[in-house]
Amino acid sequence: MAQDGGGQDGGRQEGLPRGGPARPEAVAAARGGGDPLRGGPALPAAVTTGGCVSALRTGATAASMALRTCVLLALLAQCLAAASSPSLRAAEDNLLADSGHGHFSSQWIVHIDGGPAAADEIAARHGFDNHGEIFEGVFHFEHKRVAKRSVDPSPHHDTRLLSEPNVKRALQQRIRRRVKRDFLEEQGSGRTERAARGGPRSERSKTPVMFNDPRWLQMWYLNRGGGLDMNVQPAWEEGYTGRGVVVTILDDGLEKDHPDISRNYDPQASYDVNSHDDDPMPRYDMLDSNRHGTRCAGEVAATANNSICAVGVAFGASVGGVRMLDGDVTDAVEARSLSLNPQHIDIYSASWGPDDDGKTVDGPGELATRAFVEGISRGRGGKGSIFVWASGNGGRDMDNCNCDGYTNSIWTLSISSATENGLVPWYSEACSSTLATTYSSGQTGEKQVVTIDLHHMCTSSHTGTSASAPLAAGICALALEANRDLTWRDMQHIVVRTARPANLQSNDWAVNGVGRNVSHSFGYGLMDAHAMVQLARSWKSVPDQHRCEVSAPHTDKLIPSKSQVVLQLHVKECAGVNFLEHVQAKISLASSRRGDLQIHLTSPAGTRSTLLARRPQDMSRGGFTAWPFMSVHTWGEQPFGTWQLEIHNEGRFLGTLTEWKLILYGTETEPGNDGDRKSPPSSNTNVNNGNRKYGVNRPVNQSSPNQDENVVEPDIGSPWKEVHVGHTHNEVRGTTEDGISSSGCLSQDSSHRYCLECAPNLWLWQGQCEEKCPNRTYSTIDPASHISVCSWCHYSCKYCVGPNDYECSACFGDATLYQMSTAEKFCYPKVLLPAMDTAAWYQKTVIVFSIVAVLLFVLIALFIVNVFYNGRISNQYKIVKTSEDS
């Protein structure tokens, strides 16, 4: 399962401070169910504003004068209460304005035995539409009469579905905020046609490929030569155009009848997840807000030499579009898209992800994770689907792409951008999981990316990492045509070996332990299509992937304010892994301000990866829960020796590291064709050409795996050693045993990496077996499989006994546990408590005044009736008297 960055609940608080996520229900409760501003039912009509006015207008009698006084009093109370509750409304508006993230949708995931026929029948019986099977036995339902967005779940629909004997599990889907990675504001510079090409010309480009497409001359990133483009033309010249390779764009649709794409359009690689049909045509609006997918598709496979618009990198490839961003995105929507036709589609290109606001930590949920796992293990006949991902556009907000579980995943080939002049673009995010770079937009004055556009048009102003991922997908398609047997890992190996620093300028280029240049902004550098097809052609598939885990003891390490903690882990054995691929540091830590932390990992060969840089915007108190920070910087190195973790705490608050685990992926024998480690290809060795310098030369770790070192020393004690704690805190918490974790796994998936069932007394969590469910999860029995699993708490709870907001057992620091009844305990954000008190006071005041008003009214009425009655009696008496007198 979420081996690799399953949805961190940190993300579920996205856009809102932790605890602050202010359960919308809490707000409703705070309002006492009656909001004067929204016409709630709690107030008697007489005390609502309209009621007051009409009462005042009609008040003429003595009785109504009394009523008028009390109504005025009530009105005054209401005004006072309204004036004192703006903070409540502001907090609430914050919540509700938040794009529906976390709200319940009208979609369900239903696990059903008996196949599609049974699912159809059950759906019809309970008023659902069956949108089809995502995985075997897992169906995507939607209920037309349930609100598309609601703060409240619809448990009675769960109950109805679960009453069916064939239904094993029913889960209402929640909305996830996902953003496209380009920019709506036009920068203009790329809009105009340019006749002249920028940049020097290489020898090769003296005989350039010439196309008659009107924008071909503007496609600088494909044709400017001089080692300053992505070397696509020589690949084309060798005949590689992506023929036979299928790419799909997961986005907001595809204008499939665009004359520059229609020839390569592949309906089998297309689907409309938003409208549940086979036609991915985008929805047109005044802003053309759904042009993103079409633009991305054009970069991959716009037809060449047809006198129309642009040229795709893989203009011979088939291209499809999945319309999935033009509507509420749920885990089911993502899973549906990522698992579309995996035996037909080779490459999935995604230029979107969680908000790049610099404070979000979010990743794929349960189903999307399953889609990735099934994709890499079963897609393309077992060679694995290739997921190309845009690394993110949060540069301005100092976001870190390692906090994005999609790009941080080992299953995605993460691509960053470089500008025309080789600079780090202003939107770029730096992180250690980025594998390579393609060109994209930059500052005003720097050119942008040319591609097709909506309404059968053409654009020269596609921007952001959005533009980079499809270029990478196109280049991967060329490599895949050169060798159809490449696995998903082969493709990453080839990118690592062939990407080159080119003109990319960054002050963090470094040379890793096997002599390759690597940077957090650019990964291994600019992708080189020609080098990729050449290497792909003769590539022998890499040996099986192995993984080992080395855990630190379960002990808390304090990270005091303005200090750093340095920890070391000695890896003596890592079964099956002698040559590293991806490395994950799975970290749980608590912090009062997550953005103050920086985390670095240094490999035994001395390669230092920044797992997390400071994120000034991230004020979350959520910390990280088993977040698998990933690095590709140690690719090819050996895992043995001392790994060092540094955590810097720049803030004013104490942090606590609660869990730390190193997960090392790699191969037993050396991958590549001919001892690549000892002679890395020239394209990415430590180049110092001209006056440009890359990295710092330092000796490559020459030691080969030493048999002696491959043996666990049983008495080594803790593999962890605390080297230094800055400032205070001399006390080092006791370190205990436990070095290499034993898995406790009863059955694994076909790739032997992800556990499917654990031994008794162990709980399945993210593909591994845990003795105790981690923070923010609770132990339960999966109703479908009857397997013991850990499951996420409601995002407002720190600890819980069930999935709902009323099943919290402990809260985060900025929330308070609030017991409604013996069975219901909520976590209410402290920041909202004064507002809730105010609202409660207001409600009480209104009730008291209402009662007083009604009583007064009754008394006055009685008084009037009494006076009137007495008057009549005395008149009758007078009449009687008069008649007697007469």
Residues near Ca ion (CB under 5 A) are: 213, 260, 272, 275, 277, 279, 302-303, 306, 308-309, 356, 392, 394, 399, 404, 409, 412, 414, 433
* C-beta closer to Ca ion: residue 186 or 277: 277
Minimum Å distance from CB 298 to Ca ion? 9
Question: Which element (helix H / strand E) includes 659?
Answer: strand 655-667
Alpha carbons within 13 angstroms on the beta-carbon side of residue 605 total: 27
Token pair listed for 741: 């974790």
Q: What is the CA radius of gyration of the chain?
A: 32
Report d(CA 727, CA 563) in Å as an integer: 6
Minimum Å distance from CB 402 to Ca ion? 9
Contacts of 866 (CB under 8 A, 6+ apart): none
Query: Cβ-closest residue to Ca ion?
Result: 392
Q: What is the DSSP string of 680-700?
A: --GGGS----TT---S-----
Minimum Å distance from CB 742 to Ca ion? 28
Q: What is the DSSP string of 301-353?
A: HPPSSSSSS---TTTTSEEEEEE-SSS-EEHHHHHHHHTSSTTT--EEEE-EE
Token pair listed for 181: 């990675």
Alpha carbons within 13 angstroms on the beta-carbon side of residue 794 total: 29
Contacts of 201 (CB under 8 A, 6+ apart): 224, 225, 226
Minimum Å distance from CB 531 to Ca ion? 21
Note if 600 is an active site residue.
no
From 251, 266, 326, 346, the catalytic residue = 251
Report d(CA 450, CA 463) in Å as an integer: 9
* C-beta closer to Ca ion: residue 164 or 272: 272
Minimum Å distance from CB 532 to Ca ion? 18
HEC profile for 574-589?
Answer: CCCCCEEEEEEEEEEE
Sign of torsion over alpha carbons 570, 574, 580, 584: negative
From 416, 466, 788, 791, the catalytic residue = 466
Note if 466 is an active site residue.
yes
Please classify residue 287 by burial: count the beta carbons closer than 10 Å to its beta carbon, then call 0-12 exposed, 13-18 middle and 19+ buried.
exposed
Note if 727 is an active site residue.
no
* C-beta closer to Ca ion: residue 25 or 279: 279
* C-beta closer to Ca ion: residue 27 or 413: 413
Contacts of 1 (CB under 8 A, 6+ apart): 366, 369, 370, 373, 754, 764, 765, 766, 767
C-beta separation of 309 from 215 below 8 A: yes
Report d(CA 39, CA 548) in Å as an integer: 60
Minimum Å distance from CB 669 to Ca ion? 24
Contacts of 545 (CB under 8 A, 6+ apart): 489, 581, 665, 666, 667, 751, 753
Minimum Å distance from CB 160 to Ca ion? 29
C-beta separation of 511 from 409 below 8 A: no
Minimum Å distance from CB 230 to Ca ion? 18
Alpha carbons within 13 angstroms on the beta-carbon side of residue 148 total: 6
* C-beta closer to Ca ion: residue 34 or 132: 132
Token pair listed for 633: 């910087």
Picking from 431, 446, 501, 647, the residue whose alpha carbon sits closest to that of residue 560 is 647
* C-beta closer to Ca ion: residue 393 or 777: 393
From 292, 520, 546, 648, the catalytic residue = 292
Q: What is the DSSP letter of 604?
A: T
Minimum Å distance from CB 182 to Ca ion? 14
Token pair listed for 485: 């047997």
* C-beta closer to Ca ion: residue 404 or 490: 404
* C-beta closer to Ca ion: residue 262 or 688: 262
* C-beta closer to Ca ion: residue 402 or 638: 402
* C-beta closer to Ca ion: residue 432 or 796: 432
Minimum Å distance from CB 355 to Ca ion? 8
| Active-site residue set | 251, 292, 466
